[in-house]
A and B are shown apart, each in its own frame.
Chain A
């Protein structure tokens, strides 16, 4: 069965610093992988997705993620954090029609 693990329920970085949010998955089939962002009191918005094409996926707002099959990872990065990036981030893997979700990582940006 597919599963997703996000390391760190909270990550704090300074404005302008590198953002790294970790996601590891388990899947018995080649996965589709997703990162979503949720701002307070809003629904989830797709940041980027991996669907077995290029392993480095670029998304919105300057985020990107790299699929590493050998490490079963799909970590999310952004070179320089902005205050507007403060939100909760969820990694998900597809399982037939469903998405299996990680528990989320809250990104805190320090001025």
Chain B
């Protein structure tokens, strides 16, 4: 596609619900990143994929967070039993080359009530 797309753009979940956030990277981009961005702050790294391999998940805040990229393209970030502190914008980015600039999607704004 022309750019990174994410869906849904907005998600409201009741505390305790599970949510799934989708990211479609730019076609051919090998690397994919998920970030969490709280209001008024910079992105915080969550996890990194190279193709289908999850090479780094050190930023996932708890075992309620799970990400996958089974065929090396589309990725899903799943949050189980959502809590209020999970409310944030979740950003996805992809890159063609190792260490190169990242191309970002518009983000999914998650609000947990």
Bound pair (A, B): yes
Is B1 located at the chain interface by the 8 A CB criterion?
no
Contact status A101-B48, CB under 8 Å: no
Residue in B closest to A51 when the chains form the complex, CB atoms: B100
Contacts of A46 in B (CB 8 A): 101-103
Sorting the interface of chain A by its residue count into under 10, 10 to 19, 20 to 34 or 35 or more gives: 20 to 34
Contacts of B101 in A (CB 8 A): 34, 46, 49
Interchain CA distance A17-B40 in the complex, whole Å: 25
Contacts of B109 in A (CB 8 A): 41
Residue in A closest to B103 when the chains form the complex, CB atoms: A46
Is A96 located at the chain interface by the 8 A CB criterion?
yes
Contact status B4-A43, CB under 8 Å: yes
1/0 per residue, CB under 8 A from A, across B58-88: the answer is 0000000000000000000000000000000
Contacts of B104 in A (CB 8 A): 36, 43-45
From A42, A94, A103, contact of B41 by CB (8 A): A103
Sorting the interface of chain B by its residue count into under 10, 10 to 19, 20 to 34 or 35 or more gives: 20 to 34
Interchain CA distance A45-B4 in the complex, whole Å: 11
From A42, A43, A44, A94, contact of B99 by CB (8 A): A94
1/0 per residue, CB under 8 A from A, across B29-44: the answer is 0010100000011111
Contact status B45-A44, CB under 8 Å: no
Contacts of A94 in B (CB 8 A): 99
Contact status A43-B105, CB under 8 Å: yes
Within 8 A of B (CB), among A55-111: 90, 94, 96-99, 101-104
Known: A94-B99, A104-B40. 9 other contacts (CB 8 A): A43-B91, A44-B43, A46-B103, A96-B99, A97-B48, A97-B55, A101-B43, A103-B41, A104-B42
